[in-house]
């Protein structure tokens, strides 16, 4: 059975920066019952507390954090990039330990977002870009979906289980 990495906050766990969570999502609950899910909160795994200050990536590109070109900043300018990198590596270790090829991660998070991010201005402006964990997992061949793309994740899982790697 193919396992799927999932953001802990999408399973109703109160690990969001503001102490909140998301969901429930019927499909994720079904996958959890099947024993298919491996849950992670990269920011907590990286050592950050809950609640914690909101952060943004200047320019919104998690790949730049991976490449050491920028940090992950609070509105006061504190750089928590090291914790984000540690959390991304923890997620990658779970992926490697479980042979994971698919992930469902929270949209528009500076760790988990897969298509879009806030631009670092703390003005609510979105730009195309990935979170730090999503970017690292993609570099290692994981297909990353968000909770807004669950039907696409179902299709990708079906292809994997049929032996057609649609990566
Ligand atoms: Fe944790 Fe990712 Fe959810 Fe943020 S979006 S709370 S890092 S699991």
Distance 147 CA to ligand 1 centre (A): 12
Q: Quick check: CB of 130 below 6 Å from ligand 1?
A: no
CA-closest residue to ligand 1 atom 1: 41
- Best mutation site among 43, 51, 55 for ligand 1, i.e. most ligand atoms within 8 A of its Cβ? 43
Q: CA–CA separation, 25 vs 66, rounded Å?
A: 30
- Best mutation site among 108, 112, 132, 136 for ligand 1, i.e. most ligand atoms within 8 A of its Cβ? 112
Strands (E), the chain: 4-7, 37-40, 55-56, 73-74, 102-105, 116-118, 126-128, 143-146
**What is the average pLDDT value for the chain, to the nearest integer?**
96
pLDDT band at 48 (very low <50, low <70, confident <90, very high): very high
The 10s digit of each residue's pLDDT in 81-109 is 999 999 999 999 999 999 999 999 999 99
Q: CA–CA separation, 122 vs 77, rounded Å?
A: 11
Check: pTM over 0.90? Answer yes or no: yes
Domain residue ranges in the chain: 4-161
165 pLDDT higher than 80: no
| Residues ≥6 apart with Cβ < 8 Å to 72 | 55, 56, 57, 65, 79, 80, 81, 84, 110, 132
* pLDDT at residue 167, rounded to an integer: 45
- Please, are residues 94 and 38 in contact by the beta-carbon 8 Å criterion? yes
* pLDDT at residue 164, rounded to an integer: 61
Instruction: Give the CA-trace dihedral at 56, 62, 66, 68, to 10 degrees.
Output: -50
- Please, are residues 16 and 107 in contact by the beta-carbon 8 Å criterion? no
The 10s digit of each residue's pLDDT in 31-40 is 999 999 999 9
* pLDDT at residue 68, rounded to an integer: 97
Residues above pLDDT 70, as percent of the chain: 98
* pLDDT at residue 118, rounded to an integer: 97
Q: CA–CA separation, 72 vs 110, rounded Å?
A: 8
- Best mutation site among 111, 115, 132, 135 for ligand 1, i.e. most ligand atoms within 8 A of its Cβ? 111
- Please, are residues 52 and 42 in contact by the beta-carbon 8 Å criterion? no
Distance 1 CA to ligand 1 centre (A): 25
Q: Quick check: CB of 112 below 6 Å from ligand 1?
A: yes
């Amino acid at each position: 059975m193919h396992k799927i990495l999932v953001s802990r906050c999408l399973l109703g766990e109160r690990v969001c920066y503001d102490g909140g969570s998301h969901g429930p999502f019927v499909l994720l609950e079904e996958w959890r019952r099947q024993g298919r899910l491996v849950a992670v909160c990269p920011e907590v795994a990286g050592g950050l507390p809950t609640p914690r200050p909101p952060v943004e990536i200047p320019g919104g590109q998690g790949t730049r954090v991976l490449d050491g070109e920028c940090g992950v900043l609070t509105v006061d300018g504190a750089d928590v990039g090291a914790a984000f990198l540690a959390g991304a590596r923890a997620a990658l270790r779970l992926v490697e330990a479980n042979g994971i090829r698919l992930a469902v991660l929270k949209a528009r998070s500076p760790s988990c977002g897969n298509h879009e991010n806030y631009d670092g201005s703390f003005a609510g402006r979105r730009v195309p870009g990935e979170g730090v964990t999503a970017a690292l997992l993609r570099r290692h061949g994981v297909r990353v979906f968000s909770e807004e793309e669950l039907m696409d994740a179902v299709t990708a899982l079906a292809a994997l289980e049929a032996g057609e790697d649609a990566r």
